[in-house]
Amino acid sequence: MSYQEEFNFWLNDAYFDEDTKNELLAIRNDEKEIEDRFYKELEFGTGGLRGVIGAGTNRMNIYTVRKATQGLANYILKQGGKEKGVAIAYDSRRKSPEFADEAALCLAANGIKAYVFDALRPTPELSFALRKLGCISGIVITASHNPPEYNGYKAYWEDGAQVTAPKDKEIITEVKNVTDYHEVKTMDKEEAIKAGLYQVIGAEIDDAYMEELKKQIIHPEIIKEMADDIKIVYSPFHGTGNVPVRRILSELGFKHVYVVPEQELPDPDFTTLDYPNPEDPKAFTLALKLAKEKNADIVLATDPDADRLGIYALDTKSGEYVSFTGNMSGMLIAEYILRERTAVGAMPENPALVTTIVTTNMAKAISDDYHVKCIEVLTGFKYIGEQIKWFEQSGSNHYVFGLEESYGCLAGTHARDKDAVVAVMCLCEMAAWCKKHGKTVWDQMLDLYEKYGYFKETQYAITLKGIEGSRQIAAIMDKLRNDPPKEFGDWKVLEFRDYDRNRILNMESGEERETGLPQSNVLYFDLTDDSWCCARPSGTEPKLKFYMGVKGNSLEDAQEKVEKLTEALKAHI
């Protein structure tokens, strides 16, 4: 059907409710808006759904959520997982509770039990809950840190990680095969509850989750000793982190935790934020104001679904708060865990740290120092979760820590996705250790730089919209792939990795070997002086993303080098 025919179908068919039809009637004279809403189906990709909320095939609404869930249900039935059930969580966004119920009732109508949280919960707790309950799958209704007009739908499998190959493609195929909305099943909520196919979950899972988090604490005695001295400012950015973060810090004994009052409660409009993203410095405006009032040691913020953590720490020499990238905060936690677990004899046999190909090279330097295997995976935390599963199946290694550059990390194996709640807990323990030893968290970061090198990373992105933009992105990637540069400015290319063609080329010898990672449209250049750059098209935006990393001998040197490398990269595009 054409977009106009789809519009008329939604407007006139009895399947769609009156609210939906009234919304569409309001745009009936806006050709451009009708086209945008109906020119395609909202794509169910490897991460699930994400889009603007509204009526239409290219929007997040109860009908697109139901349709996606019918595809997932069909796959679960084919896998023989009907009896295991599906766990469902949701965040503070518009329509999140409604979308969670629509998914649950579609599953129930297919004879699959749904376990639905009684209120909003963090994404990592869903990952924990589905394994705790022995479910075949899990769903989180969230658009993470997207603007308020968005919502999304993330699918998980029984190992607790977001779905990976080959199941991701198989589920996508099942979703695409659902072409008739009338074939999508649903049922009355009360009937589903009576039939035992809709079960509310809550406190029992929360309690079990908290107990798992506490197992990651190495020095509870240091927390108790420093609890009166350390001051923490925290913002949940109107999202799911407020209750679990405050609870875990309170139960561990931290006494001075100040929550940003304007951002404490759920708010689907994110009224106090331009963009609810811990990577955005402007998002910390209110938290930093409170930090200065309280003379806080650290300032923490979690994104709306509480899987990513941003931090600032006080520099006592300047009196200012310094921002930390995801690489920096991840390295602080990783080094603390590796050092202190080694010191107290709590490091498991064959320990492993898992990181992504675009995460800082400091991870390898620290891992080597503590004799921990460092394993690189593709971008996306699901690949880190997948490694945990493989370790358990093979017994080859024991997972100690995992991180990615985009402000996500995981200590422990209670979840198989990044967990900002455990990250807050670990970082606060590390901050207490710093306080005990007469230093700030920023001092500790400088100590790591002095010991391992001043690693510095940055990103550069080109936005190219529409069909022509897609062609331009493909052309740039083809040029880099088929005629890889031999140098970027002062940096020689040592090796060129093409993950789409499963090929690593030694630029000096011409020797080739396989990447050993799944196929992905990613190009990576290993450079001299422990530097690198990487190119990949974004999976969610019309962007070509470039990641770069350098190693300097001071903060200023590293900054100068990363700026030079960025300019050298631009010259090749």
List the catalytic residues: 144
- Give the burial string for 213-246 (b: 16+ CB within 10 Å, else e): beebbbbeebbeebeeebbbbbbbbbbbbbbbbb
Residues 6+ apart with CB under 8 A from 162: 46, 47, 48, 154, 155, 156, 380, 381, 382, 385, 417
| 3-state SS record for 129-196 | HHHHCCCCEEEEECCCCCCCCEEEEEEEECCCCECCCCHHHHHHHHHHHCCCHHHCCCCCHHHHHHCC
310 contacts 319 by C-beta, under 8 angstroms: no
Interatomic CA distance for residues 220 and 143, integer angstroms: 35
Q: Which residue blocks in 14-136 are alpha helix, DSSP H?
A: 18-25, 31-38, 62-78, 96-109, 123-132
Whether 139 and 86 have beta carbons less than 8 Å apart is answered as: yes
How far apart (Å, rounded) are the C-alpha atoms in residues 533 and 562?
A: 10
Select from 175, 155, 203 the least CA-distant residue to 417.
Answer: 155
Under the phi-then-psi rule, with left for phi > 0, alpha for psi from -120 to 50, and beta for the rest, what region is 148?
alpha
CA distances in angstroms from 325 to 258, 379, 414, listed in the order given: 22, 17, 25
Backbone φ, ψ for residue 238 (5° rounding): 65, 20
Residues 6+ apart with CB under 8 A from 229: 435
Count CB-CB contacts under 10 A for residue 498. 21
Angstrom CA distances, 465 to 30, 470, 537, 539, stand at 22, 7, 12, 13
